């Protein structure tokens, strides 16, 4: 076995590979770009070497640099992860030339599967089922139309050089064929510089089912069953699961054997995935083979009890496959959700920024019927709280993988795990994933590649306005943090609290809505009113960002995270982003430029919270006024020192009166 390997990747997959290497006692070398100097993958490896600027082209795609680092650090093998150089046959070859083991298939297998139409010809010879169609060289329009008529409509035209759904045209009837062909060829030449097309029977509601295969250098090849990855959006996978719902033992064996035949036909070694599209009746056809370890490999690991990275390392080191086909069994059901920094409401636009707060669900190990089952939950991530999602790389935050003894149980774990996942600092798809996992179509396993498109209404409901409970959580958290900061006038000994019903108005906005919350101070809590709803609230527990309140007859727990002017409330599986408008703090901002803070309206000073010469931090409450029975806090617009306090408790002030002199 190797004693040291280089990981030619970043993010979660680099961390994933490093974890297995560490468990096996193998040292790891990370490579990183300038943007990743403080990245998690650098921290979890034993050594790390800077290979270039942020742009992948100048760093993670620099085959020459990476091989140089492997030679210099004495790494005997390179794991390419996925993406970047993982399916680059020249890189695989360059590794071999330099006496370094490439932890992946031989360059020849990568090449054979790289060309989609050549791969189809190879598969045809190996008796792997193909979609009925024509993928030959004859591109004559009349000839292709005759082929399409023979195949039967609807027919799908695909650019031979295409992939990822680009350059595809559905043709409904023979009369439409010539126009569609011309337009498909135009797009093909524009996108790929090659106007060759192929024609196939168009499957109406296909499922994406892929088979994990593994081969060693001793002639063994096995399949580790299937994954259903039908839930995609714009050819990007969102949810993956294993096994595929509805799969029969016969179909599983047929698909597995077809996948092994595909792998053997190209002399495959290592981890690979054979992708099929399957009809709702279960008939299946080869689409392509991915010659790498895939993002979604953990669902296979969970149901088979294997570590596929360990298998990769053993195979690359010349060992035999750890298990034979008859030793592989499916145990339970696993689902993976990809957590992305993106905004589903804005067309899934990537969202860059810093993970100001990131709390992942807690992993649980549990026992069933006396036997210990796998961890019900696993999270693979390349970022930690405080890390940044940059525009340079894939905006994936984490993969969340859950296990259950059956699909129903796995779904419940996924639903709960998503409900517990908290992120502040950038937009994420967590709420969307929650709706997706709980949707009628997904929970009912009514799967096909059009699931998201078809269920837009259920997946993108009009946002519900924050409830009184959510507003109360935000308010109580704000008031409690003022108190801990020593700026809560109601806890101090000024005595005015006894005078009358003290009220305060807080304003929040949420999307386009405005919430005016009236707070009345009571002996042991508050009365909170918003719109038509009123309730009495008490703070039961507070620890860091976590609070528990009693509202009416209910006990409600929440995590409330303040991020600048935003108050994020995580409670009962929902995340509400409230924008707190501290109107008077804002009013003070402009005034402060001139080194003074003035009264925004006529009123009475009810609390003075600072003294002359006192240093204050931005946001500190300085003074509280009462006007029209409401409390208004005057806060420091920036760090500074109090020059002079110009009024005392009980003083009446007129609008515009200077209250404090303040300097930066
Ligand atoms: C198809 C198809 C229906 N019928 N071929 C899309 C990407 C490309 N690699 C193959 N794709 C498809 N080929 C026939 N004959 C539907 C798709 C397809 C799809 C396939 C897998 C996963 C997601 C998809 C989303 C849309 C279309």
pLDDT per residue over 398-421, tens digit each? 999 999 999 999 999 999 999 999
Q: Which of 113, 147, 167, 168 to mutate to test the pocket of ligand 1 (most atoms within 8 A of CB)?
A: 168
Q: What percent of the chain has pLDDT over 90?
A: 73
Q: Could you say which DSSP state residue 82 is in?
A: S
Q: Averaged over 42-71, what is the pLDDT?
A: 98
d(CA 548, CA 559): 9
Closest CA to 220 of 307, 308, 320: 320
Q: Which residues of 316-346 are buried (b: 16+ CB within 10 A; e: fewer)?
A: bbeeebebeeeebebebbbbbbbbbbbbbee
CA of 267 to the centre of ligand 1 (A): 26
Q: Which of 235, 276, 279, 453 to mutate to test the pocket of ligand 1 (most atoms within 8 A of CB)?
A: 235
Task: Name every residue whose Cβ is closer than 8 Å to that of residue 370 and which is 6 or more positions away in sequence.
Answer: none
Position in ligand 1 atom list of the atom nearest CA 232: 23
Residue 496 has pLDDT above 50, yes or no: no
CA of 338 to the centre of ligand 1 (A): 20
Q: Averaged over 148-172, what is the pLDDT?
A: 89
d(CA 111, CA 98): 20
Q: How confident is the model at residue 392 (pLDDT cuts 50, 70, 90)?
A: very high
Q: Averaged over 50-56, what is the pLDDT?
A: 97
Strands (E), 405-545: 422-424, 503-510, 513-522, 525-530, 533-543
pLDDT score recorded for residue 494: 37
d(CA 534, CA 528): 6
Closest CA to 535 of 446, 582, 471: 471
Q: How confident is the model at residue 497 (pLDDT cuts 50, 70, 90)?
A: very low
pLDDT tens digits for range 606-661: 888 899 889 988 878 888 887 766 677 788 878 888 888 889 888 888 777 888 88
Instruction: Say what angle helices 297-304 and 308-316 make with each other, to 10 degrees.
Output: 100
Residue 13's Cα: distance from chain center in Å? Answer: 14
CA of 204 to the centre of ligand 1 (A): 10
Strands (E), 253-359: 270-278, 284-290, 333-340, 342-343, 349-350, 353-354, 357-359
CA of 342 to the centre of ligand 1 (A): 24
Least confident interval from 83-92, 125-134, 410-419, 611-620: 611-620
pLDDT score recorded for residue 74: 98
Least confident interval from 198-202, 411-415, 570-574, 597-601: 597-601
Task: Provide the 3-class DSSP secondary structure of residue 355.
Answer: coil
Position in ligand 1 atom list of the atom nearest CA 133: 15
Q: Averaged over 345-371, what is the pLDDT?
A: 78
CA of 205 to the centre of ligand 1 (A): 9
With 0-12 / 13-18 / 19 or more C-beta atoms within 10 angstroms meaning exposed / middle / buried, residue 175 is exposed
Residue 344 has pLDDT above 80, yes or no: yes
Q: Averaged over 106-114, what is the pLDDT?
A: 95
Task: Provide the 3-class DSSP secondary structure of residue 188.
Answer: helix
Residue 106 has pLDDT above 70, yes or no: yes
Count Cβ atoms below 10 Å from residue 380 Cβ, excluding itself: 19
pLDDT score recorded for residue 31: 98
User: In the predicted model, what is the mean pLDDT of the chain?
Assistant: 91
d(CA 454, CA 459): 9
CA distances from 50 to 54, 88, 383, 424, 602 (A): 10, 21, 18, 30, 61
Domains annotated on the chain, with CATH: 4-103 (3.40.50.20), 132-201 (3.30.1490.20), 207-459 (3.30.470.20), 468-586 (3.30.700.40), 596-663 (2.40.50.100)
Position in ligand 1 atom list of the atom nearest CA 116: 9
Helix, strand, coil abundance in the chain, percent, nearest 5: 30, 35, 35
Hey, whose CA ends up nearest to atom 19 of ligand 1? 449
In DSSP notation, 118-132 reads HHHHHHHHTT----S
Residue 589 has pLDDT above 80, yes or no: no
Hey, whose CA ends up nearest to atom 24 of ligand 1? 449
Residue 503 has pLDDT above 90, yes or no: no
d(CA 449, CA 423): 28
Region for 525 from its dihedrals, namely left if φ exceeds 0, alpha if ψ lies in -120 to 50, beta otherwise: left
Position in ligand 1 atom list of the atom nearest CA 204: 3
d(CA 455, CA 640): 54
Hey, whose CA ends up nearest to atom 12 of ligand 1? 165
- Higher pLDDT, residue 54 or 481: 54
CA of 433 to the centre of ligand 1 (A): 22
pLDDT score recorded for residue 141: 96
d(CA 186, CA 165): 15
CA of 202 to the centre of ligand 1 (A): 9
Least confident interval from 308-322, 492-506, 574-588: 492-506
Position in ligand 1 atom list of the atom nearest CA 275: 21
Q: Averaged over 142-166, what is the pLDDT?
A: 90
pLDDT score recorded for residue 430: 98
Position in ligand 1 atom list of the atom nearest CA 285: 15
Helix (H) or strand (E) holding 236: strand 236-237
CA of 135 to the centre of ligand 1 (A): 16
Q: Which of 203, 449, 452, 454 to mutate to test the pocket of ligand 1 (most atoms within 8 A of CB)?
A: 449
Q: Which of 171, 234, 287, 288 to mutate to test the pocket of ligand 1 (most atoms within 8 A of CB)?
A: 287
Position in ligand 1 atom list of the atom nearest CA 201: 15
pLDDT score recorded for residue 380: 95
pLDDT score recorded for residue 511: 86
Hey, whose CA ends up nearest to atom 20 of ligand 1? 208
pLDDT score recorded for residue 600: 73
In DSSP notation, 429-466 reads SHHHHHHHHHSHHHHTT---TTHHHHTHHHHSPPPPPP
CA of 255 to the centre of ligand 1 (A): 18
Residue 355 has pLDDT above 50, yes or no: yes
Task: Name every residue whose Cβ is closer than 8 Å to that of residue 353 and which is 6 or more positions away in sequence.
Answer: 341, 388, 389, 425, 426
Least confident interval from 154-163, 321-330, 368-377, 618-627: 368-377
* Residue 288, beta-bridge partner list: 275
Hey, whose CA ends up nearest to atom 10 of ligand 1? 165
Lining residues, ligand 1, CB within 6 Å: 131, 156, 163-165, 200-203, 206, 208, 232, 235, 277, 287, 449
Q: How confident is the model at residue 481 (pLDDT cuts 50, 70, 90)?
A: confident
Provide the greatest CA pair distance for the chain: 95
pLDDT score recorded for residue 190: 87
Least confident interval from 138-142, 286-290, 461-465, 654-658: 654-658
CA distances from 256 to 224, 275, 303, 553 (A): 8, 11, 16, 57
pLDDT score recorded for residue 493: 38
Residue 377 has pLDDT above 50, yes or no: yes
d(CA 379, CA 336): 9
- Name the most confidently modeled range: 305-314, 356-365, 522-531: 305-314
pLDDT score recorded for residue 84: 97
CA distances from 251 to 5, 244, 245, 278 (A): 39, 11, 12, 11
pLDDT score recorded for residue 489: 52
Q: How confident is the model at residue 363 (pLDDT cuts 50, 70, 90)?
A: low
With 0-12 / 13-18 / 19 or more C-beta atoms within 10 angstroms meaning exposed / middle / buried, residue 547 is buried
pLDDT score recorded for residue 575: 97
Hey, whose CA ends up nearest to atom 21 of ligand 1? 208
Handedness of CA 393, 396, 398, 404 (dihedral sign): negative
pLDDT tens digits for range 282-296: 999 999 999 999 999
Residue 354 has pLDDT above 80, yes or no: yes
Hey, whose CA ends up nearest to atom 26 of ligand 1? 449
Task: Name every residue whose Cβ is closer than 8 Å to that of residue 571 and which is 6 or more positions away in sequence.
Answer: 469, 470, 473, 556, 557, 558, 559
Q: Averaged over 110-130, what is the pLDDT?
A: 91
Looking at the chain, the number of H-run helices and the number of E-run strands are: 18, 43
Position in ligand 1 atom list of the atom nearest CA 131: 15
CA distances from 84 to 13, 89, 97, 410, 526 (A): 12, 12, 20, 32, 56
CA distances from 69 to 2, 86, 100, 260 (A): 16, 17, 11, 35
Are residues 382 and 15 in contact, defined by beta-carbon separation less than 8 angstroms?
yes
Task: Provide the 3-class DSSP secondary structure of residue 301.
Answer: helix
pLDDT score recorded for residue 162: 76
pLDDT score recorded for residue 561: 97
pLDDT score recorded for residue 597: 81
d(CA 262, CA 123): 6
pLDDT score recorded for residue 372: 55
pLDDT score recorded for residue 446: 97
Q: How confident is the model at residue 586 (pLDDT cuts 50, 70, 90)?
A: low
d(CA 148, CA 136): 13
Q: Which of 117, 210, 231, 277 to mutate to test the pocket of ligand 1 (most atoms within 8 A of CB)?
A: 277
Residue 196 has pLDDT above 70, yes or no: yes
Residue 369 has pLDDT above 90, yes or no: no
d(CA 462, CA 457): 9
Task: Name every residue whose Cβ is closer than 8 Å to that of residue 444 and which is 6 or more positions away in sequence.
Answer: none
CA of 200 to the centre of ligand 1 (A): 11
Helix (H) or strand (E) holding 160: strand 155-163
292 is catalytic: yes
Residue from 16, 292, 378, 504 carrying the catalytic annotation: 292
pLDDT score recorded for residue 12: 98
pLDDT tens digits for range 217-276: 999 999 999 999 999 998 999 999 999 999 999 999 999 999 999 999 999 999 999 999
CA distances from 616 to 203, 246, 431, 593, 640 (A): 67, 65, 39, 16, 5
Task: Provide the 3-class DSSP secondary structure of residue 504.
Answer: strand
Residue 512 has pLDDT above 90, yes or no: no
Hey, whose CA ends up nearest to atom 15 of ligand 1? 202
Residue 583 has pLDDT above 60, yes or no: no
Helix (H) or strand (E) holding 633: strand 630-635
Count Cβ atoms below 10 Å from residue 158 Cβ, excluding itself: 24
């Amino acid at each position: 076995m190797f004693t040291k390997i280089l990981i030619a990747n970043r993010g979660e997959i680099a961390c994933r590979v490093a974890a297995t290497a560490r468990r096996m006692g193998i040292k790891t070398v990370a490579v990183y770009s300038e943007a990743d100097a403080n990245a998690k993958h650098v921290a979890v490896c034993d050594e790390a070497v800077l290979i270039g600027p942020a742009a992948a082209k100048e760093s993670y795609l620099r085959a020459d640099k990476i091989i140089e680092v492997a030679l210099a650090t004495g790494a005997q093998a390179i794991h390419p992860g996925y993406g970047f150089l993982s399916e680059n046959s020249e890189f695989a070859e360059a590794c071999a030339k330099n006496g370094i083991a490439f932890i992946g298939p031989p360059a020849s297998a990568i090449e054979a599967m790289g060309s989609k139409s050549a791969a189809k010809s190879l598969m045809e010879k190996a008796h792997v089922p193909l979609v009925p169609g024509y993928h030959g060289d004859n591109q004559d329009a009349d000839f292709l139309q005759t082929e399409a008529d023979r195949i039967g409509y609807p027919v799908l035209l695909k650019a031979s050089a295409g992939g990822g759904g680009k350059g595809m045209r559905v043709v409904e009837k023979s009369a439409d064929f010539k126009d569609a062909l011309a337009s498909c060829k135009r797009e093909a030449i524009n996108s790929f510089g090659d106007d060759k097309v192929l024609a196939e029977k168009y499957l109406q509601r296909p499922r994406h089912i892929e088979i994990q295969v593994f081969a060693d250098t001793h002639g063994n090849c096995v399949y580790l069953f299937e994954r259903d990855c039908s839930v995609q959006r714009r050819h990007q996978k969102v949810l993956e699961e294993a096994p595929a719902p509805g799969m029969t033992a016969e179909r599983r064996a047929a698909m597995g054997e077809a996948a092994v035949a595909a792998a053997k036909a190209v002399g495959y070694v290592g981890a690979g995935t054979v992708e099929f599209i399957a009809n709702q009746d279960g008939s299946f056809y080869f689409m392509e083979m991915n010659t790498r370890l895939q993002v979604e490999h953990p669902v296979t690991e969970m149901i088979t009890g294997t570590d596929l990275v360990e298998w990769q390392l053993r195979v690359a080191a010349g060992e035999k496959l750890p298990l034979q086909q008859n030793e592989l069994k499916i145990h339970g059901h696993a689902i993976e959700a990809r957590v992305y920094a993106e905004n589903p409401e804005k067309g899934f636009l990537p969202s860059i920024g810093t993970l100001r707060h990131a709390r992942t669900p807690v992993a649980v190990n549990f026992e069933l019927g006396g036997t210990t089952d796998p961890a019900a939950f696993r999270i693979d991530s390349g970022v930690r709280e405080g890390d940044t999602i940059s525009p340079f790389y894939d905006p994936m935050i984490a993969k969340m993988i859950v296990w259950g003894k059956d699909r129903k149980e796995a779904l419940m774990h996924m639903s709960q795990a998503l409900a517990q996942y908290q992120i502040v600092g950038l937009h994420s798809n967590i709420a969307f994933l929650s709706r997706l996992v709980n949707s009628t179509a997904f929970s009912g396993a009514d799967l096909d590649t059009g699931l998201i498109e078809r269920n837009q209404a259920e997946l993108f409901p009009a946002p519900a306005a924050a409830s009184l409970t959510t507003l109360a959580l935000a308010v109580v958290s704000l008031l409690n943090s003022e108190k801990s900061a020593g700026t809560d006038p109601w806890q101090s000994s000024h005595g005015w609290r006894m005078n009358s019903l003290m009220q305060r108005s807080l304003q929040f906005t949420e999307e386009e809505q405005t919430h005016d919350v009236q707070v009345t101070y009571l002996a042991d809590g508050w009365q909170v009113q918003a719109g038509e709803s009123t309730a009495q609230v008490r703070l039961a527990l507070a620890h860091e960002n976590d609070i528990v309140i009693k509202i009416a007859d209910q006990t409600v727990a929440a995590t409330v995270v303040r991020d600048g002017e935003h108050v994020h409330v995580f409670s009962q599986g929902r995340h509400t982003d409230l924008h707190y408008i501290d109107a008077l703090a804002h009013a003070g901002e402009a005034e402060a430029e001139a080194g003074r803070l003035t009264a925004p309206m006529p009123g009475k000073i009810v609390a003075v919270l600072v003294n002359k010469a006192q240093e204050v931090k931005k946001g500190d409450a300085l003074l509280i006024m009462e006007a029209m029975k409401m409390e208004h806090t005057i806060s420091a617009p920036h760090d500074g020192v109090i020059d002079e306090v110009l009024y005392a408790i009980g003083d009446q002030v007129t609008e515009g009166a200077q209250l404090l002199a303040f300097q930066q």
